[in-house]
Amino acid sequence: MDSGLNMDNARVDEQKKVMEKYLDSGQCPFCTETQAKTLMPVLEDGFFWTVRENKWPYENTKLHLIIIAKEHLEKFSDIPNNAGAELIALCCRIEKRFQVESGGIAMRFGNIRFNGATVAHLHMHFIVPDPKKTKNKKDKIRFKIG
């Protein structure tokens, strides 16, 4: 896990295969120079953050985006001051662009041995549930932390 990847938190086989390639190369899949190799195309681009669709969205989502720090950051105390304002502005643009009526955001930070993330590189999930698929309690979207 010193590589910045935690294979135990991967959810699908394709994701595990991609992560294994990065484990072998020692590169971070979310650093700017490697993102284009594996991730979906850029939807929004800021100075501090890049927005992409999640290649492996959570079950029962209508929209699942990942907002990735352009610089390799791993915890909140690493975030430059102006990056927070840009993050909120990006979320507002996404909300408007995709006409989001309801959703949630979630971000893990720090040690990926404990927080449930697959990649240590700081990123945030912008999740919009599919109301047709989340009517029952058992079908709700669950974001793993820990």
Q: How high is the mean pLDDT of the chain?
A: 92
pLDDT in tens, 38-83: 788 999 999 999 999 999 999 999 999 999 999 999 999 999 999 9
| Beta strands at 61-69 and 49-53: parallel, antiparallel or unpaired | antiparallel
Q: Where are the domains of the chain?
A: 7-139
Looking at residue 58, its pLDDT comes to 93
For residue 48, give every residue at least 6 positions away whose Cβ sits within 8 Å of its Cβ, in sequence order, or none. 69, 70, 71, 79, 80, 82, 83, 86, 87
- Give percent of the chain with pLDDT exceeding 90: 70
The answer to whether the CB of 121 falls within 8 A of the CB of 144 is: no
Q: How many CA atoms lie within 13 A of 15 on its CB side?
A: 16
Looking at residue 36, its pLDDT comes to 79
CB neighbourhood size of 24 (10 A): 9
CATH of domain 7-139: 3.30.428.10
Looking at residue 2, its pLDDT comes to 55
pLDDT at 1 over 50: no
The two structure tokens encoding residue 66: 């990942």
Identify any residues that bridge with 60 across adjacent strands, giving them in sequence order. Answer: none
Closest to 103 in 3D by CA, of 70, 134, 68, 137: 134
Looking at residue 27, its pLDDT comes to 86
In this prediction, residue 104 has a pLDDT band, given cuts at 50, 70 and 90, of very high
pLDDT at 115 over 70: yes
Provide mean pLDDT across the span 1-21.
85
Higher pLDDT among residues 137 and 90, named by residue: 90
